[in-house]
Amino acid sequence: MSAFAKRERYGRRRFLGRLAGIVAAGAVAPSLLSAKGGTKGSKPDEAAPLVDSPPVLQRPTESGIVVTWAVGRMATGYVEYGERSDRLDRTAWGDRHGLKPCHERFLQIRIDGLKPNTRYWYRTVTCSFDYHDAYHFERGEPVYSEVFAFETSGPNRAEGSFSVINDTHNHQPTLKRLTERLALVGADYTVWNGDLVNSFDNADMAVEAVLRPGGAAFAARKPMLFVPGNHDYRGRWARNIPLLLPEWEHPAEEDRPFGRNFVVRSGPLALIGLDTGEDKPDRHPAWASLARFEPWRAAQRDWLERALKSPAVATAPFAVAFCHIPLHWNDPNGNGGDLTTGYASFQRQAANLWGPLLTRHGVQALIAAHNHKFRYDPATSDRSWAQIIGGGYGQTDELTAIHGRAVGDAMEIAVDELNTGTELGRWRFPKRN
């Protein structure tokens, strides 16, 4: 068992246990267990739960965070927060262009103006909203979540840590085991390294796969960092995923198109998110001329160069990059995502564009996914980064959770295999130059 596993920072209470923590003023929240899907009209469906998932923290920066949660019927909501658990004296309304949020399936509230490396407490507040017409509506009593704590990101912290899960494909037994592991380890961030689903077909399955995976409140305290996988681009509903997976809002104008790329600083550790896109060439007939991932990967080269030179990365003693499809492959003639037969084992275009940059800036590790099979490739004399590929899910014999922790002079990354309870590997990385 890894050292991480021994550090149980909080219990394994899952979402079912949290139902008791939801307090309704003047109303009882209907069963969250019957959450099969919300109504799609304006009339309330009494069978649908009002609150349909725990809060999920995303897009953590030094000054803010985004709270997303699911509702089962038309509702409005806000977040109360503060620097003391018993004094949530501030409110984030989530208003945009003068209008507060109201939605039948997702609520998303951004909290701004926070201090770096600071602990805050918060709770979500949800009110049903029965909308008849512009002048006639009924607003329900507020329903409060329990109070959770989180910490803003930033460099002023002795230790930084992350966990990685990947290729979960909405397989609920797998998600249950992985989220239990995440709770046990208690890393600062969970990187969800792609293929959250087979395809995004509708809002209900998106809620199940992403906002209450395995029934767990997996990111109510420790934020989740979404790295897209090829399957996350599929399905008729895929263009709606910012409703529950908010895009990053980078301050510099030239960075604004890169809403699925991120840099998060966790003490001495910089985490860099990249997007390898689909696993077949844009010209592949399966994409029906809808794909433009080749220009997207090329554009990310320049974003990556800016990110690597930014103070958040340049001053970090440890740097780890994440992308779904591997960049390194032992067979240079293998499928690099540029063939119209089969699918990619690795991403040749991204490897050529991003790989040398990662080396030039001394990034120590790249964590990938996609192949459903664990693999480790050490750094070489001409490649600064080791590559770790996470395993698969379900019936495969390698269900992995990867954990990294940087403190003092070293970063350690370990791969736990959850089916056999073994550790597949543990590696130590010194500070980069």
Q: Name residues contacting Fe ion, limited to 217-236 (CB under 5 A).
A: 229-230
Distance CA 250, CA 93 (A): 21
Residue closer to Fe ion, measured from CB, 54 or 229: 229
Read off the DSSP letter of residue 214.
Answer: G
Question: Nearest-CA neighbor of 125 among 103, 104, 149, 141?
Answer: 141
Binder among 361, 370, 372, 405 for Fe ion (CB under 5 A): 370
Query: What is the closest distance, in whole angstroms, from the C-beta atom of residue 325 to Fe ion in the complex?
Result: 7
Angle at 117 between CA 113 and CA 121, to 5 degrees: 65
Query: What is the closest distance, in whole angstroms, from the C-beta atom of residue 50 to Fe ion in the complex?
Result: 35
Report which residue's Cβ sits closest to Fe ion. 370
Q: Name residues contacting Fe ion, limited to 61-120 (CB under 5 A).
A: none
Binder among 52, 151, 188, 195 for Fe ion (CB under 5 A): 195
Residue closer to Fe ion, measured from CB, 168 or 261: 168
Q: Token pair for residue 333?
A: 């003639």
Among the candidate windows 89-97, 256-264, 283-291, 364-372, which touches Fe ion by CB under 5 A? 364-372
Residue closer to Fe ion, measured from CB, 160 or 229: 229
CB-count burial class (<10 Å; 0-12, 13-18, 19+) for 259: middle
Q: Token pair for residue 164?
A: 């990685």
Query: What is the closest distance, in whole angstroms, from the C-beta atom of residue 299 to Fe ion in the complex?
Result: 21
Query: What is the closest distance, in whole angstroms, from the C-beta atom of residue 110 to Fe ion in the complex?
Result: 29
Query: What is the closest distance, in whole angstroms, from the C-beta atom of residue 195 to Fe ion in the complex?
Result: 4
CB of 263 closer than 8 Å to CB of 305: no
Among the candidate windows 3-11, 193-201, 307-315, 354-362, which touches Fe ion by CB under 5 A? 193-201
Query: What is the closest distance, in whole angstroms, from the C-beta atom of residue 335 to Fe ion in the complex?
Result: 13
CB of 76 closer than 8 Å to CB of 105: no
Query: What is the closest distance, in whole angstroms, from the C-beta atom of residue 242 to Fe ion in the complex?
Result: 20
Query: What is the closest distance, in whole angstroms, from the C-beta atom of residue 358 to Fe ion in the complex?
Result: 20
24 Cβ partners below 8 Å, 6+ apart? 141, 142, 143, 144
Residue closer to Fe ion, measured from CB, 126 or 230: 230
Among the candidate windows 95-103, 104-112, 234-242, 370-378, which touches Fe ion by CB under 5 A? 370-378
Q: Using DSSP bridges, classify how beta strands 119-133 and 143-144 pair: parallel, antiparallel or unpaired.
A: antiparallel
Query: What is the closest distance, in whole angstroms, from the C-beta atom of residue 91 to Fe ion in the complex?
Result: 40
Query: What is the closest distance, in whole angstroms, from the C-beta atom of residue 254 to Fe ion in the complex?
Result: 29
Distance CA 134, CA 387 (A): 56
Among the candidate windows 195-203, 206-214, 298-306, 329-337, which touches Fe ion by CB under 5 A? 195-203
Residue closer to Fe ion, measured from CB, 126 or 347: 347
Distance CA 380, CA 360 (A): 13
- 345 contacts Fe ion (rule: CB under 5 A): no
Distance CA 247, CA 122 (A): 22
Q: Name residues contacting Fe ion, limited to 285-324 (CB under 5 A).
A: none
Amino acid at 55: P
Report the residue count for the chain. Answer: 433
Residue closer to Fe ion, measured from CB, 55 or 390: 390
Distance CA 372, CA 416 (A): 14
Distance CA 232, CA 206 (A): 10
Question: Nearest-CA neighbor of 274 among 250, 241, 301?
Answer: 301
Binders of Fe ion: how many residues, by CB under 5 A? 4
Give the burial string for 306-340 (b: 16+ CB within 10 Å, else e).
Answer: ebbebebbeebbbbbbbbbbbbbbeeeeebbbeee
CB of 247 closer than 8 Å to CB of 259: yes
Among the candidate windows 198-206, 214-222, 286-294, 366-374, which touches Fe ion by CB under 5 A? 366-374
The site for Fe ion (CB under 5 A) is made up of 195, 229-230, 370
